Amino acid sequence: MSESDASGPRWLSPEERRAWLALYAVATRLTPTLDADLFKRARITLFDYHVLAMASEAPNRALPMSELAARSNASLSRLSHVVKKLEGRGWMERSQSPVDARVTMAALTQEGMAALEGLAPDHVGTVRDLVFDGLDARDVEDLERVGRRILARIEPGIGFLDEEGA
């Protein structure tokens, strides 16, 4: 429980410190930048977009709330608020699952699908501009590898990154 026992300092090395500052800066700056871009064009956030995108890739464009939450990296509470908002906009619909009455299925509507398709090309273009245009093939590979390793420690049971279906 203590910060330093005899076995080592548990402090960050200079290399680790630089890497941490870079990671923190990316995490802190990237999302707001993409948020602002999407917000200008469609009054939605990056998180909203990601929820729509995850739903669009599911069979029947529908998923249980908890599964959608996992794929959206969000708490159930956060997702619930957001899906309510998107439902109000006509882009999603909620319904009870017939097999388990506790489960709420969140489905993308036709209108939501159309909106997503309208947004996607420009959004992907922005992601490419901000991220991938500055990276070469090795960088991309490293990014995925390191990202997954960090994720494995944050949330050991993740999994959805591997389901490369659809």
Partner DNA sequence: CGCCAATCCTTGAAGCCTCAACCAACCATG
Partner DNA sequence: CATGGTTGGTTGAGGCTTCAAGGATTGGCG
Cβ-based nearer residue to DNA, 6 or 27: 27
Name 94's bridge partners.
Answer: 106
Scanning 103-111, 118-126, 129-137, 158-166 for contacts with DNA by CB under 7 A, the matching segment is 103-111
Cβ proximity of 10 and 4 under 8 Å? yes
Q: Is 76 in the site for a copy of itself (CB under 8 A)?
A: no
H-helix segments, the chain: 14-42, 46-56, 65-71, 76-88, 110-130, 137-154
Residue 32 CB neighbours (<10 A) = 12
Angle at 152 (CA atoms; ends 151, 157), nearest 5 degrees: 105
Scanning 5-13, 15-23, 100-108, 131-139 for contacts with DNA by CB under 7 A, the matching segment is 100-108
Q: Which does 3 bind (CB under 5 to 8 A by kind): DNA, a copy of itself, none?
A: a copy of itself
Distance, in Å, from the CA atom of 85 to the CA atom of 48, rounded to the nearest integer, reads 9
Q: How far is the CB of 162 from DNA (least distance, A)?
A: 20
Tokens of 131: 């991220």
SS3 state at 93: strand
Q: Is 72 in the site for DNA (CB under 7 A)?
A: no
Interface with DNA (CB under 7 A): 32, 35-36, 39, 45, 47, 64-67, 69, 74-85, 94, 97, 100-105
Contact residues for a copy of itself (CB under 8 A)? 2-4, 10-12, 14-16, 18-31, 33, 47, 50, 73-74, 120-122, 124-125, 127-135, 137, 139-155, 158, 161, 164
